[in-house]
Structure 1
């Protein structure tokens, strides 16, 4: 499963994966409790593969940031919680992405990245970070 199928829905906690698309939206399944819900086209949905984090030089795709967290943590859950304080979160994120733009990346954004990483790790979806890059390389060669 690639990050193209994982969603964040505004106003709803956690992450969701697309089960099927409908005429008016999609049926999604929560990665937290596996409950399925229908979301309409009017919902504010963000696909993880389209999210990027601001750095001083460029925007880094979320996939790359999650890979760096995975490397730092050795594929295990993060050493901090998304509920930790602002200073702890910023210190952790500085170790992962030293040149992130502190003016445009808020503590709430860092909380989401930490929470999302832990959800993906718990659901064994971190391997999709590697697979997605290989899929793109393969399609570019053809």
Structure 2
């Protein structure tokens, strides 16, 4: 999940942003949505790169789960379709979903607003950056076999065409 180094949340702005490149006074970002709007964010604005964010765990005082691992666990559990809509869910529903994915999260330090943001971010990433998440393993080998068979069929046909041209 090295791509999370390029994805950030900007304090005070909804959604996620792809960090494109630095400027003298800040950074150029692009929205992770269908609009793909670019803008310059000043150096005084709080920008949080998703790679640096983690979820508190109850195991130990300093124990955390990186957001990349949490996204993979959410993806393994729900595969892009959450059982609720994060923006409309109540606190109990949000806590139930996160407890289903990470049963040992620290309920004292993880707030419903944090869970809502994480689930919204997961949906944004799943929709607009699907390469972050692994494809189903059962489908991939079949697809590779079919591609190999198609390539093998095409290669002899190409050789015959070359012989006829000579």
TM-score by length of 1: 0.85
After the TM superposition, which of the residue ranges 102-111 and 18-27 deviates more from structure 2?
A: 18-27
Q: How far apart, in 1, do the equivalents of 2:133 and 2:21 lie?
A: 21
Q: 2:57 matched to 1:55? A: yes
TM-score by length of 2: 0.73
* Structure 2 CA distance for partners of 1:2 and 1:95, relative to 1, 3 Å: same
CA drift at 1:21: 1.4
Equivalent pairs, count:
128
Higher-RCO chain (CA-CA 8 Å, sequence separation at least 6): 1
| 4+ residue segments displaced more than 4 Å | none
Gaps of 5+ in 1: 131-142
CA drift at 1:23: 1.5
CA drift at 1:7: 0.3
Report the RMSD for the aligned CA atoms in angstroms.
Answer: 1.4
Counterpart of 1:71 in structure 2 is 76
Higher helix share: 2
Counterpart of 1:21 in structure 2 is 22
Q: How far apart, in 2, do the equivalents of 1:8 and 1:116 lie?
A: 9
Cα deviation 1:70-121 (Å, max 9, x = unaligned): 00012x2322111111111110000011000000000000000100000001
Which of 76, 80, 83 is residue 84 of structure 2 equivalent to?
A: 80
CA drift at 1:129: 5.6
Q: How far apart, in 2, do the equivalents of 1:80 and 1:45 lie?
A: 28
Which of 46, 66, 80 is residue 48 of structure 2 equivalent to?
A: 46
Counterpart of 1:119 in structure 2 is 124
